[in-house]
Structure 1
Amino acid sequence: YREVRALAAGGDLARLEARLAADPAGAFTEKVLNALGYRALYGERDVARAVRLFELATRTFPESGNVWDSLGEALAERGDVAAASASYERSLALAPDNDNARRQLARLRAR
C-alpha cells in the first residue's frame, strides 16, 4: 500500500498503472484507488491528479458505479459539467440505487 500511495502522491500515474497491470489482485483494490483519488481531491486540493486517479479507477473497475460517481465529483470540482454529468449518468446506469449520483446529476442540470 505504501508503494501505491507514493506513486499516486508523486503523480507517477504511468508507473501506477503499470504496477496495477502487473498485479491486478494486489493492493490496487477499488477502495484503495478511490481513497487515493479523494485524498488528492480534498486532502491536497489537486483536482487534476484526482481526476487522473479516478479515471484510472474507472478503467480498472469499469463496472463499478462507485468509481464513476467519484470521477463525476472530481470533474464537477474541475468545472467540467458535461463530463461530470456523463460520469454520474454512467454511475446510475451501473448502480440505479445511487442516490448521491442522482442528486449530483440534478444539481448539475439545474446550473
Structure 2
Amino acid sequence: MLMVAAIPFGARVATTKLSDVELYAWIAQAEAGARLEYHCGFLGIDVTPVISTLPEPERRQLADLGQAALSAFEKGLVHLVQERVGPDRFAYIAVARPRPKAAAPSLSALLLEERAA
C-alpha cells in the first residue's frame, strides 16, 4: 500500500513517489473496488512547469503518472476520484473497476500499449 508522509494542515506541498509503471502494475493486480492514492496535492498546478514547486524530474514523473491514470480511466480500468484534504489540496485516487468478462487484449497489453505511445 502506498504511504503518504504526514503534512501539516494547510501546507501546499506536493509529494510524488509512485511511477506510471507502478500504477499500471497495481491496476493489473487490483481487485474491483480497491483504491490507490496516486497523488496528494493540486495536480493541475503540480504538473505545470511555470508554477509547480516540484523539481523538474519529479514534475515530469508526476505528469507521466497523471497521464497514465487518465489513460487507464479512458480504457475503463479505473474510476478516478478526488477527496479534498485541505485548502488547495486533494487526494487523487484510482478505484479499480471490475475486469471485462469478454475476451479482449490482455490487461498488460492495454497498459503497455499506452506506455509505448
Q: TM-score, normalised by structure 1?
A: 0.33
Which of the pair is proportionally richer in strand? 2
- Highest Rg: 1 or 2? 2
Structure 1 or 2: more helix by fraction = 1
The structure whose RCO (Cα within 8 Å, separation 6+) is larger is: 2
